[in-house]
Chain A
Amino acid sequence: MTAVYQRIFTVEQDDYASAGLVSSLIKESLRYMGISPAVVRRVAVATYEAEINMIIHAYGGTITLEIGDDGTIHLLAKDNGPGIPDIEKALTPGFSTASKKAMELGFGAGMGLPNIKRNADVFHIESSPEGTILDLLFKEKS
């Protein structure tokens, strides 16, 4: 797969006011590209969760959107730490380590990673104290 399009978006730590901005931009771009609505919906939901995670749990990071020549959508979410101590726990629906502040704002229901996994066709996660890398692929289903 060769990439025919690539764009990198920056997400900042604790920037609750802009929550959803990057996912809205990605959603809009995919719509302009004419990607099928069902796929855009899955990407949108997953990107939103990844973006929120970066804001509330991580020290910010970047989300890279890449489109392959066959229409495959590749999302790479890379944050600057502090990493997820127990990935298996984080993947359990309802498990949350969100701060009180985040909870008060309505975030941190413990569905972030499970939702991302459910919506992506290929889900890969790696985490160390230096940061977490979330590698996602979305394909058109025929």
Chain B
Amino acid sequence: MRRTSITYTLSHCVHCLKCVKACPVSAVTLVDDRISINKDRCINCGQCIKACHSKGLVASGSSLEAIRDYPYTVCLVPSALSSVCKSLEEAERLFYAIKQLGFDEVIDLSPVEGQLKRETQRICEELDHGNGIASFCPVIKRLIETSYPMLMDNLVPLNYPSEVMAKQIRKRENGKETGIFLMCECEAKLALAKEPYKNDTYEVDHTLAIVDLFPQLRAHFPEGREEVHFCRSGLQAANPSVIVQKQEYLIADGFDKINDILSMEEFNLLNDFRMLYLFPCFNGCIGGHLLWGNSYLTRNHIDALTGEENLPVADYPIEDLYKEMVIENEDTRSFTEKMDEFRRVNEVLEKLPRYDCSACGMQTCRIMAEEIARGHKKLSDCRVLAASKERV
């Protein structure tokens, strides 16, 4: 089952349609004066939240209260989070502060991220059809599933870092009840857990938005330090400017560039490359919307942290990295049915102004045409057509 981590509050909404226009996959619509997010289309990228100026849309994970449901709890920390720390000392203080939230154990994910990065490179070097596409960003995986299904075969079949680590913990705990939490720097990662939507495809139980816990973390920050073992290449995996420097690797951040690159890959125009490392967030994961630092500074922080001479380096085996890439909810309608709908939609589209103004609440005239063809909307709901009739 699909889910979105984004929630909507009607009382804050000013119906400005900024979110409708901002969505890169046309999942946001305004219906009956309410914003509605199509769960099958949403890729949890958070562009609508960024566009919203009235706090009508927010991303939320679980509440910290959920810790009480488990006798033993582990918190996973992606390396992007360490980018808010200027030094090893600050990183140790951050991990201490996270532990003080009530966790029995805090685990840094950089060793898993480093391992997945190496494996991604290896797979891409050996791939015989086009470029491999790094898959550790859930937004990229979902974007390809929904908008570039032709490139599903190019997605590197590796699991998310949090899942690889969570599986390893389940194995270690050997059936003992353990609550696995994931601290998140972005909206997309908030959707990678069992709760609260009873999604059993994940090993992580709950996700938490780090920005919501900022006051508590700040309070505990000066109190002590917790030893952390990092992996240098894993820490760099969150930052496109240093991730890997090789001519055959195309590294890009931001939706405009990503869409451009993926369209080119569909035409096989990127033959001089071997791998596409794509980050929807500007400056990569360290530019995640749930982090408080500005991502130009945090880029320097990661550099400083990886440059620490006495950085304790993690050394343990990491296994079970793979995951099959499949398209969920595939369209099962027959060719005739699909073609009939295509023709009906096109007939309606001919009558619409094609300005894609979004005034009707749909992002584009095509989506409006689909809604009309399905009988959910009427031609008279088009504001432009209605206005031109009034003038006559």
Contacts and interface: CB of A to CB of B under 8 A. Distances in A.
Nearest to B342: A33
Given A23-B267, A41-B266, A44-B267, A67 B339 contact: yes
Contact of B152 (A4, A20, A27, A37): A37
A34 interface: yes
Interface string A32-74: 1110011011001100100000000000000000010111000
Among B331, B335, B336: residue with most chain A CB under 10 A: B335
Nearest to A43: B150
A44 B268 CA distance: 9
Interface string B260-299: 0001001111000000000000000000000000000000
Contacts of A23: 267
Contact of A27 (B266, B331, B338, B342): B266
Interface residues on A, range: 20 to 34
Contacts of A41: 150, 266
Interface string A1-24: 000110000000000000010011
A5 B345 CA distance: 13
A47 B345 CA distance: 24
Contact of B335 (A24, A45, A71, A115): A71
B266 A44 contact: yes
B176 interface: no
Contact of B342 (A32, A38, A40, A115): A32
A89 to B, nearest CB: 22
A65 B329 CA distance: 28
Contacts of B150: 37-38, 40-41, 44
Interface residues on B, range: 10 to 19
Nearest to B343: A5
Contact of A34 (B266, B267, B335, B366): B335
A95 B358 CA distance: 49
B307 interface: no
What is the predominant secondary structure among interface residues of chain A facing chain B? helix
Contacts of A27: 266
Nearest to B268: A45
Interface string A98-135: 00000000000000000100000000000000000000
B267 A20 contact: yes
Contacts of B342: 5, 32-34
Contact of A37 (B149, B268, B335, B336): B149
B333 A24 contact: no
B268 A5 contact: no
A34 B149 contact: no
A34 B152 contact: no
A65 B333 CA distance: 22
Given A32-B345, A34-B331, A40-B150, A24 B339 contact: no
Contact of B338 (A20, A34, A37, A69): A34
Contacts of A5: 339, 342-343
The 5 closest A-B pairs by CB, nearest first: A34-B338, A37-B149, A41-B150, A37-B150, A48-B267
Interface of A: 4-5, 20, 23-24, 27, 32-34, 37-38, 40-41, 44-45, 48, 67, 69-71, 115
Given A32-B345, A69-B336, A115-B268, 20 more contacts: A5-B342, A20-B267, A23-B267, A27-B266, A32-B366, A33-B338, A33-B339, A34-B331, A34-B333, A34-B335, A34-B338, A37-B150, A37-B152, A45-B267, A45-B268, A48-B267, A48-B268, A67-B339, A70-B335, A71-B335
Interface of B: 149-150, 152, 263, 266-269, 331, 333, 335-336, 338-339, 342-343, 345, 366
